């Protein structure tokens, strides 16, 4: 069923003003790193009771033959934690735009149970999962597979390279840290609302450039009947809401298609300035084993620094990832839907598919 923008209920509407193109945006997601550093409202520490409740909920499914694709929020009753997750969901969608859960005992419960617990929390925060690659993985494994962003058929999550500030193709991206690296690999975020407002102060000319469509490379993960590239502005204003989508890797390689051509000098400068601003305004949360981070892609950019890894396969840096859609998420312009189809055929834009994609949720690295 397609949910229209008119059915969206924004619980933070009193703290927001209608976004006007090329003007500063007033939005609860427009925070600064200094403001976040003074507060820990973004950090949710699991209590012993919450851990126990979640462990009880996942216990029937902590087995090797479980198919996570068959399990939704109703399969994981969380009488107390569930109420908190409902409030946190609204904070992620319309408030601050991110949350970090800390205190899940990976070592004690094991990696399989941890994957099921992460899936359970994700099901309570989203309205469905999106495919993260043409293989159809909806439970992704972010780890070094020897790939490189410089290869237009490969992607950064499967390398140990630094990844520029970007967003993922969904409403909410969730990450759980299974294993950390020897050094590096720090995850950082920045409010794209605050970045937009700072760019208005420093380079208002580039804000207009960022609101123009940028060609983006699908990097050989092409839905049936669609082009190997698409167009989407970085800064978007729709029905009074601001949203941003930046993908330097995908934008940077789109020129390999004659139809796309090279970026204009102004577009190249806009990309450079936006990345420099993001690095300047970044908020480093830290990311420890057992941490679960959920980020609203429409108001937050995220990054990962390069890292040194262990040789032991069981010790290699390893994150679990989910891409969630939220049917009551902020209104998005048509360009977001056109990446996948049309507003009439797509309930909510998100995901990557190829001609033979079959959805699956592998608990272990594949």
What is the sign, positive or negative, of the torsion defined by CA atoms of 89, 28, 349, 170? Answer: negative
CA distance 149 to 250: 9
Half-sphere exposure of residue 312: CA atoms within 13 angstroms, side-chain side: 6
Q: Within 10 A of 170 (CB to CB), how many other CB atoms are there?
A: 27
Helical spans, DSSP H, in 75-189:
81-94, 106-109, 111-125
Measured CA distances, 167 to 40, 128, 196, 248 (Å): 23, 18, 15, 9
Owner of token pair 């994981």: 76
Give me the tens of pLDDT residue by residue for the chain, a chain 366 residues long: 233 344 468 999 999 999 999 999 999 999 999 999 999 999 999 999 999 999 999 999 999 999 999 999 999 999 999 999 999 999 999 999 999 999 999 999 999 999 999 999 999 999 999 999 999 999 999 886 555 456 565 454 666 677 899 999 999 999 999 987 665 667 899 999 999 999 999 999 999 999 999 999 999 999 999 999 999 999 999 999 999 999 999 999 999 999 999 999 999 999 999 999 999 999 998 888 999 999 999 999 999 877 676 677 777 878 999 999 999 999 999 999 999 999 999 999 999 988 889 999 999 876
Q: How many beta carbons lie within 10 A of that of residue 284, not counting itself?
A: 13
Q: What are phi and psi of 162, to 5 degrees?
A: -70, 140
Please, which residues have CB within 8 angstroms of residue 335's CB and are 6 or more apart in sequence?
Answer: 213, 231, 232, 233, 236
What does the CA dihedral 170, 274, 226, 69 come to, rounded to 10 degrees? -20
- Residue 358 to residue 179: CA distance in whole angstroms: 28
Per-residue pLDDT reduced to its tens digit, 78-126: 999 999 999 999 999 999 999 999 999 999 999 999 999 999 999 999 9
- Domains of the chain by start residue, with CATH: 26-338 (3.60.130.10)
Beta strands in the chain (DSSP E): 43-45, 98-102, 140-142, 163-166, 172-179, 183-184, 187-191, 213-217, 229-233, 235-238, 241-244, 283-284, 292-296, 300-304, 307-308, 318-324
Q: Could you tell me which residues come within 8 angstroms of residue 92 by beta carbon, excluding any fewer than 6 positions away?
A: 98, 99, 125, 172, 294, 295, 296
Distance CA 318, CA 336 (A): 30
User: Rounded distance, CA 245 to CA 290, Å?
Assistant: 28
Q: Does the reported pTM lie above 0.85?
A: yes
Q: What DSSP letter does each residue of 16-72 carry, written as one string?
A: -----TTS----TT---HHHHHT--TTEEEPPHHHHHHHHHHHGGG-STT--GGG--
């Amino acid at each position: 069923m397609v949910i229209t923008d008119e059915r969206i209920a924004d619980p933070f509407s009193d703290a927001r003003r209608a976004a006007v193109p090329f003007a500063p945006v007033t939005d609860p997601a427009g925070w600064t790193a200094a403001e976040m550093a003074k507060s820990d409202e973004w950090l949710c520490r699991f209590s012993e009771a919450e851990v126990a409740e979640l462990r009880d909920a996942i216990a029937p499914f902590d087995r090797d033959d479980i198919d996570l694709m068959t399990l939704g929020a109703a399969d994981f009753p969380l009488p107390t934690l569930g109420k908190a997750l409902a409030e946190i969901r609204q904070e992620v969608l319309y408030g601050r735009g991110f949350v970090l859960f800390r205190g899940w005992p990976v070592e004690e419960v094991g990696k399989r149970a941890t994957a099921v617990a992460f899936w359970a929390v994700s099901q309570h925060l989203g309205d469905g999962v999106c495919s993260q690659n043409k293989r159809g993985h909806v439970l992704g494994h972010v780890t070094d597979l020897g790939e490189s962003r410089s290869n237009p058929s490969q992607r950064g999550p499967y390398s140990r390279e630094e990844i520029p500030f970007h967003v993922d193709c969904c409403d909410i991206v969730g990450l759980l840290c299974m294993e950390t690296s020897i050094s590096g690999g720090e995850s950082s975020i920045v409010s794209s609302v605050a970045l937009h407002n700072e760019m208005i102060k420093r380079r208002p000319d580039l804000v207009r450039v960022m609101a123009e469509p940028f060609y983006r490379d699908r990097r050989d993960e092409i839905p049936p009947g669609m082009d190997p590239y698409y167009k989407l502005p970085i800064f978007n204003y729709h029905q009074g809401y601001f949203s941003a989508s930046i993908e330097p890797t995908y934008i940077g390689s789109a020129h390999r298609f004659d139809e796309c051509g090279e970026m204009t000098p102004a577009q190249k400068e806009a990309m450079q300035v936006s990345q420099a601003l993001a690095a300047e305004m970044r908020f480093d949360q830290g990311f420890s084993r057992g941490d679960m981070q959920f980020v609203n892609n429409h108001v937050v950019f995220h990054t990962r620094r390069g890292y040194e890894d262990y040789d032991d396969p069981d010790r290699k840096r390893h994150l679990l990832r989910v891409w969630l859609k939220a049917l009551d998420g902020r209104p998005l312009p048509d360009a977001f839907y056109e990446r996948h189809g049309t507003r009439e055929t797509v309930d909510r834009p998100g995901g990557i598919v190829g001609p033979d994609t079959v959805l699956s949720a592998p608990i272990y690295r594949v």
